[in-house]
Chains A and B, each alone.
Chain A
Amino acid sequence: MTLSIVLLGAAALIGIGLYGALSQQSFVMLMMGLELMLNGALLAIIGFWSLALGGMPEGQLLAILVMAVMAIEMAIGFALIVAVYRKRQADMTESIGTLKQ
């Protein structure tokens, strides 16, 4: 029962995150969508680890890895935004139709 609730919440978070990642024009908002999807994944991992895997230590490891992925995504994402903005003063997806220099 608890597991179903947790997983339904995770499904909704992933759905909202997907919507955000696809619909937002601004890079920063787009990254928020990605973060939200990872949030859903994290919730699902915690749920499975705690309620279906009997507390397998690897489950917690996976959650830690998801957090590392989030940190990497943020850092590289913002660095790319700064680099693109510096080059073209653009902070929206439409403004970079091409990645040529």
Chain B
Amino acid sequence: MTDLLVALLAAFAVWTGWRVFRVDSMVRASFSLMLSFVAVGGIGVLLSAPYIGIATVFMMAVEMMVMAIFMVMFMMNPAGLNPMSMVHQHRISIGAGLLAALALGAAVLLSPLPSNPVLSEADVVAELGHELLGPSMLIFETAGVALLATMLGAVILSSRQGRFGNSDEGSRPPGLTPEGEPAGRKPEGGGGHHHHGGHG
């Protein structure tokens, strides 16, 4: 029974993962990816990892919501009114994807897999908590600091305001002498607006 459910969920995860690159609507693409994660979360719950499974769904719901917003922001034609296909090196990519999947699949089928399932009476959530705040606290804290650094980095990168003015206007430091040349490296080609780059 569990096998069947896990197989169905795995198939659903793969199918929705595939749909991500096949649908024209960007919002549908993001939420297909979310469904793929939801299926993986479901497998987690079935395989007695309730916290990991549910937390995956929770995190991915929020992440894919943000992803969908960015999709609509940056993609032309987000609603899929035009057919969408924006690919390069298509053959190589298909080959690489297939090769990776087949090689990993072969490795799975050919190697002897150990069997040592988690005990049904184990309190895995409490174990995880003790692990996080016990032996692996350093790792956990490092992840926390990394996330904090990410937050700062993301804000700095995406902010318009540079140290010396708006970043899209060059943000050049003031001169060392009044009205003099800006200090530091001189940007090639100057700042200012570049013209519309692309959108194939």
Chain A directly contacts chain B within the complex, with at least one CB pair under 8 Å = yes
Interfacial residues, chain A to chain B (CB-CB below 8 A) = 1-20, 22-29, 31-33, 35-36, 39, 42-43, 46-47, 49-55, 57-58, 60-61, 63-65, 67-68, 70-72, 74-76, 78-83, 85-96, 100-101
Dominant secondary structure of chain B at its interface with chain A? helix
CB-based contact A94/B198 at 8 Å? yes
- Count A-B pairs with CB separation below 8 Å: 292
For B132, what are the chain A residues with a Cβ–Cβ distance below 8 Å? 61, 64
For B97, what are the chain A residues with a Cβ–Cβ distance below 8 Å? 15-20, 22
CB-based contact B154/A79 at 8 Å? yes
CB-based contact B118/A29 at 8 Å? no
Q: How far is the CA of A87 from the CA of B162 in the complex (A)?
A: 12
Of A39, A43, A61, A70, the most chain B CB neighbours within 10 A belong to A43
CB-based contact A16/B17 at 8 Å? yes
For A15, what are the chain B residues with a Cβ–Cβ distance below 8 Å? 97-102, 104
CB-based contact B124/A68 at 8 Å? no
For A29, what are the chain B residues with a Cβ–Cβ distance below 8 Å? 21, 29, 75, 86
Q: How far is the CA of A60 from the CA of B128 in the complex (A)?
A: 6
Given contacts A63-B52, A95-B198, contact A4 B100 (CB under 8 A): no
For B188, what are the chain A residues with a Cβ–Cβ distance below 8 Å? 100-101
For A33, what are the chain B residues with a Cβ–Cβ distance below 8 Å? 21
Q: Is residue B168 contacting chain A, with contact meaning CB distance below 8 A?
A: yes
CB-based contact A54/B197 at 8 Å? no
Instruction: Give A28 Cβ to nearest chain B Cβ, in Å.
Output: 5
CB-based contact B127/A76 at 8 Å? no
Q: How far is the CA of A75 from the CA of B63 in the complex (A)?
A: 9
Interface digits, B122-141 against A, CB 8 Å rule (1 contact, 0 not)? 10100110111000100110
Other 4 A-B pairs with CB < 8 A, given A18-B100, A79-B156: A8-B109, A24-B86, A39-B17, A63-B52
Find A60's partner among B40, B74, B107, B127 (CB 8 Å cutoff).
B127
Closest to A93 in B: B88
For B119, what are the chain A residues with a Cβ–Cβ distance below 8 Å? 54-55
Closest to B52 in A: A63
